[in-house]
Amino acid sequence: MKKVILAGVCLQDKSDSFPTAMEECVALCHACDLEVVGTITQNSKTLDPHTAFRKGKLEMLKNMSAELEADGIVFYNTLRIQVSDRISSYCGIDVIDRNALILNIFSKRARSRQAKLQTEVARLQYDLPRLLKQETDVQHTRGGAVTNRGAGEMRSSIIAARYQKKINDLKEELKKIEQRRYQDERRRQKTMLKRIALVGYTNAGKSSLMNTILSMQEAGGQTVLEKDMLFATLDTSVRMVEYEHKKFLLYDTVGFVSDLPHGLIEAFKSTLDATRDADLLVHVIDASDPLWSQKSLTTEQTLKEIHADEIPAIRVFNKIDMIDQPDSIDGIKISCKTKQGINALLEKMIESVYPAEETIVCKLPYDKIGMFDTYKAMLDMDILENQQDGLIVRITGEKTMLKAFSQYQRKGE
């Protein structure tokens, strides 16, 4: 495991959240298989435009890196290319910022072809300005002649064109994958099953909750990856769940994090479609995290950014077994470990997506028997009698769903 120094400038307008942000950066380093062997910070109104740290602190960073034999430096703050290059040159080791760190994590965690392509697009878009900067530096080193500048500009244009072509090719491949996923979703839509998406801050326990719910199914279900690590899940997983004779599709989505790089949000927008298309969001919160309030706010802000903030949502406090005063929390409380509150949560989910049920009795002609198969996942349908010209069926379910059977309803029933 490579050793790194974690560095950060605490800006005055973010002084309250800075300690938490630095702690989270340690966790991000761990998720990227990096060991933080030292931390160094500086309080300032602004970043130094040339080296982020002021001169004295930069010297301390250099000495600390040498003493601890660090392999690299991770800066919490977003750094311009020129700034990271100057720090790297001064300290003699590689320097990356938090954005690059998160990109590295996504590169390591991507499992599906879609996630890998999305991450590669974001990586290329992040790397291109740096490559162009390096090309410019090479030309300056060789001399500033007009002929050199012209040749350098041509080489820069060639590099930019090659990268853009690669980005475009990857996006084309992504479109094909997304089209196949769209067709899969269309098939799911034909079942008219309700959709519920688990959302929340990374490592809040969304995948654990999905697996806990699946373990309570009679038919079981293929579990999803769960790991006590930031961004363990990048790919959206979907499973069918049945509870109290009602079925719905449950989606496990990528976790959110504060200040998620815009390029990654853009790259993963298609993956986040499961969130935007849901009938209900289950906002999973880690009740044992002292900063759960801040992180839930980050989740809500991200939902707003991806235009999913108007979808009905319920807040669920997970890991309730790990806190001393669970009664102090107002909301649905669960523990994936002990299964406490899981049934109550499922009841609330069913109540939210299948409201205001009614019961009718219909005479369904035999040539309409396909409706029975189409709607049986959303409605309780009991065959009361087989008659010569059709089935007498008692149907219970959501009023809007029952409209499809209104013309077959028996008078007075």
pTM for the whole thing? 0.69
The predicted pLDDT at position 185 comes to 58
Residue 310 CA to residue 44 CA, distance in Å, equals: 38
Strand, coil or helix: 365: coil
pLDDT one-digit tens code per residue, 345-391: 999 999 898 876 788 999 989 888 888 777 877 788 888 999 988 88
The residue with tokens 């120094």 is 5
- Report in angstroms the alpha-carbon separations of 178 from 114, 286, 363: 8, 32, 42
End-to-end CA distance of the chain: 71
How would DSSP label each residue in 16-37?
Answer: TTHHHHHHHHHHHHHHTTEEEE
The CA distances from residue 161 to 40, 166, 266, 409, in Å, are 40, 9, 21, 65
Q: Considering all CA atoms of the chain, what is the largest pairwise distance in Å, rounded to the nearest integer?
A: 95
At residue 247, the pLDDT reads 85
C-alpha distances out from residue 351 to 121, 247, 251, Å: 41, 12, 18
- Which range of 11-15, 125-129, 359-363 scores highest in mean pLDDT? It is 359-363
Please name the residues in contact with 318: beta carbons below 8 A apart, sequence gap of 6 or more: 204, 205, 208, 209, 284, 285, 286, 287, 334, 335, 336
Q: Across 44-48, 64-68, 184-188, 319-323, which has the greatest mean pLDDT?
A: 64-68
**pLDDT, position 253:** 81
pLDDT of residue 233: 56
pLDDT the model gives residue 209: 93
Say what percent of the chain tops pLDDT 90: 32
Phi and psi based region of residue 357 (left: phi greater than 0; alpha: psi -120 to 50; beta: remaining): beta
Question: Which range among 35-49, 208-222, 274-288, 325-339 shows the weakest confidence by mean pLDDT?
Answer: 208-222
Compute φ and ψ for 314, nearest 5 degrees.
-125, 140
The confidence score (pLDDT) of residue 374 equals 79
**pLDDT score of 146:** 46
Quote the pLDDT of residue 131.
65
Q: What is the pLDDT of residue 172?
A: 86
Query: In this model, does residue 329 exceed pLDDT 90?
Result: no
Averaged pLDDT for residues 126-144: 59
* Own/partner pairs, 343-352, CB within 8 angstroms, 24+ separation: 345/282, 345/316, 346/213, 346/243, 346/244, 347/243, 347/244, 348/314, 349/196, 349/243, 349/248, 349/280, 349/282, 349/314, 350/243, 350/244, 350/246, 350/248, 352/280, 352/312, 352/314
Instruction: Please state, rounded to an integer, the average pLDDT across all residues of the chain.
Output: 82
Residue 10's pLDDT is what? 94
Mean pLDDT of 175-197: 70
Say yes or no to pLDDT of 184 above 80.
no
For the purposes of burial, counting CB atoms within 10 Å of the CB of 221, is it exposed (0-12), middle (13-18) or buried (19 or more)? middle
Contacts 24+ apart (CB under 8 A), 46-51: 46/11, 47/9, 47/11, 47/77, 47/83, 49/83, 50/82, 50/83, 50/86, 51/83, 51/86, 51/87, 51/90
**46-87 residue pLDDT tens:** 999 999 999 999 999 999 999 999 999 999 998 888 899 999
**How far apart, in whole angstroms, are the C-alpha atoms of residue 216 and residue 233?**
22
Q: Are 39 and 5 in contact (CB under 8 A)?
A: yes
Report which of residues 178 and 2 the model is more confident about: 2
Q: Which of 313, 324, 301, 302 is nearest to 348 (CA)?
A: 313
Asked whether 281 and 202 are in contact (CB, 8 A), the reply is no
DSSP state of 53: S
Task: Look at 174 and 192; give whichever has higher pLDDT.
Answer: 174
pLDDT at 142 over 70: no
Please return the burial class of 275, using the count of CB atoms within 10 Å of its CB with bins 0-12, 13-18 and 19+: buried
**Cβ 73 vs Cβ 83: under 8 Å:** no
